[in-house]
Amino acid sequence: MRKKDLILRNPLRIMRADNEDILPEGGFGCVLARAGVGKTSLMVQFALNTLLQGKNVLHISLDDPVNKVCLWYEEIFRNITAQYEVAPIDDLWDDILTHRFIMTFKVEGFSVPKLEERLTDLTEQGVFFPQMLIIDGLPFDNNVRASLTGLKTLAESHDLHIWFTAIAHRDDTSTPEGVPTAFESLSNLFDVLIRLQTLGSEVRVQALKGAHDAESPSLLLDPSTMLIKTDD
């Protein structure tokens, strides 16, 4: 019941009802924000929601070492369980860990063929079969479209969906929908786009594409815990 309670209480359900994933198989989602605003924190909450459903998450970090990513997960998980007064949590945490695999690359050493090779090693040896992939820190530069095209093929062939993080600078111009103009040419590749926008002391979670019902409450990141919450 503890897993079910955490899933049902999670404000992320506003983006998708019950236990359904926000993204379809083969789908792409991206969280855009300035550096240090909370992209990784939100991504870890997406991952934990999936892990609580007993689904496998492969987290790929191009910025941080494995131990730092592990600390993100543990801190966010403990904040969530403290917020909802769920205890004991050690056995629940141990169960979650069986569904998570962390992989790191140096930015300059990352490529779709290298990822596919390592993913094939995991699956062919029966080590891990991911259903959700997170790529945190991929540079959205002039060469990224080719990488995204290759990753789309990878996602479809392995029946998984992929979440990305991307930098949105403070002085970026935006489309009327709020999509940074530098990202506009890529937006057609994504099923879901979410932007974290700092307004005073608040960090608002703005669904730019495909993830939010206009009649649902707005979402924020709590600055003290970095947990997502409703604006009420």
1 pLDDT above the threshold of 60:
no
5 pLDDT above the threshold of 80:
no
How close are the terminal C-alpha atoms of the chain, in Å?
27
77 pLDDT above the threshold of 80:
yes
With beta carbons less than 8 A apart as the criterion, state whether 22 and 118 touch: no
Which pLDDT score is estimated for 194? 92
Angle at 127 between CA 122 and CA 131, to 5 degrees: 70
Which pLDDT score is estimated for 132? 96
Phi, psi of 11, deg, nearest 5: -60, -15
Q: Which CATH architecture has domain 2-230?
A: 3-Layer(aba) Sandwich (3.40)
Mean pLDDT of the chain: 87
With beta carbons less than 8 A apart as the criterion, state whether 11 and 230 touch: yes
Q: What's the rounded mean pLDDT across residues 155-163?
A: 93
Q: Which of 39-43, 69-73, 82-86, 146-150 has the least mean pLDDT?
A: 82-86
With beta carbons less than 8 A apart as the criterion, state whether 57 and 134 touch: yes
